[in-house]
Chains A and B, each alone.
Chain A
Amino acid sequence: MPKAPVNGIEIHYQTRGEGPDVILMHGITSSLAMWYNEFIPALSKEYRVTAYDLRGHGLSTITRHGYSSYDMSRDLAALMDYLGIEKASFVGHSFGGAIAMHFALDFPDRTTGVVMLDSGLACLRYLRIIHEWVGWQNRPADMMKDGLTLEQFLELDSKQDVTDIIKRGLSVPRRAGFRKGQDGMTPRARKLVEETRMGYEFRDVAGMTEDRLSSIKAPVLALYGETSPYKKMATHLSQLLEKCRHDVLPGVGHFYAIHRPRLILERIQAFLKDPEGFVAEGRTASASAGSEA
């Protein structure tokens, strides 16, 4: 299978289609498989689509360190160099979007646009509404099995190192898919959470401060779930960034990109076709709606 030898590791990637480059980036504990069934077939009709497994994930090399958005944006740059991709649009779910934003910040000339799908950015963590976390809302029984109360959960969550929370999340049986009923603590996932500093490092601001974020000039589409703990980031980002169109998707939480990809595919395609125009049009519509209110 295709693997790029970059930054001292091997990054597993899949490329399909022809056209302008689009790079898909998954979130923590996921893999490029999340894009495989829907996003890759749909987008590869018009674009050269590259999806890759982040360091430590899927079929890429697991290392002890290297999991901040800064480190991961350097992996992305090295992968693009290896594949001969000068410039691309990025679609990132969750932490994948944070990596894309870090890349856009440090490599503006190589960024056509960014789609953030419910991405929590470390510098905006103060905006999270953690009691609306879909995992907590939908699966209290699972989380309470070992006596964990909401207060205790919030205490664990307030720490920089959230390895324990990630472990608990992975131990909840899957609600859909071919592995329905099985938990997510596969041997690979166990190695990632138990033998690396991922659970600590991915929460690092790593130089992407709120002040610096506002200097991003690339057009950004920010799509957040209504019951996601990150939804306040959507409106905040559209005020903070020069070119950002946002939307809060009704009735879905943090994982809609995995479970309901068709909800957002058309919107992503419209953005990719003309990122600047799509964002400008959205901002004009919001401004008119605001003046009418």
Chain B
Amino acid sequence: MELLTRDKVRQDLIELLKDAREDWDHSINVTDETGIFNDLGFESIDAVGLSSSLEAHFDQSLPFPEFMTKVKEQNLKDITVGHLLDFLMANLRQSAERAAA
């Protein structure tokens, strides 16, 4: 089983972000600080679509609505790639730990 390192998850996440936007701007250099709404032009519904893609890609259900609720409560100006990575690493790791237990 392939180890889900942060770098590997980042790489997969960026590919899924590209798939979620038909009009992806290939000149954008995506970093952990890139905001999905203001920099990548996501609409709320794209974030919902992304959640389905993430679940399919990593083959597990993810508490994405709860993540969105938490983010809203924090009054963040945007959700960055870094936020998404933190969320994924926390939940994917938890799953891996549960599977190993």
Which residues does A use to contact B, with CB under 8 Å? 1-2, 12, 14, 16, 31-34, 36-38, 40-41, 44, 53, 58-59, 177-179, 186-188
Contacts and interface: CB of A to CB of B under 8 A. Distances in A.
Interface in B50-71: 52-53, 56, 65-66, 68-69
Interface in B16-41: 23, 35, 37-38
A33 B53 contact: no
Contacts of B23: 187
Given A14-B52, A178-B78, A179-B37, A37 B45 contact: no
Q: Which 9 A-B pairs have the closest CB atoms?
A: A33-B44, A1-B52, A178-B37, A31-B45, A58-B45, A37-B68, A33-B45, A41-B65, A37-B69
Contacts of B49: 1, 12, 59
Nearest to B63: A41
B92 interface: no
Chain A contact residues, majority secondary structure: loop
Interface residues of B, number: 22
A276 to B, nearest CB: 29
A1 B65 contact: no
B96 interface: no
B56 to A, nearest CB: 8
B39 to A, nearest CB: 11
10 contacts: A2-B52, A31-B43, A33-B43, A36-B48, A41-B66, A41-B69, A44-B65, A53-B45, A178-B35, A187-B23
Contacts of B37: 178-179
A38 B45 contact: no
Contacts of B8: none
A191 B37 CA distance: 20
Nearest to B22: A187
B72 interface: yes
B77 interface: yes
B47 A33 contact: yes
Nearest to A53: B45
A178 B68 contact: no
Contacts of B48: 1, 14, 31-33, 36, 58-59
B43 A16 contact: no
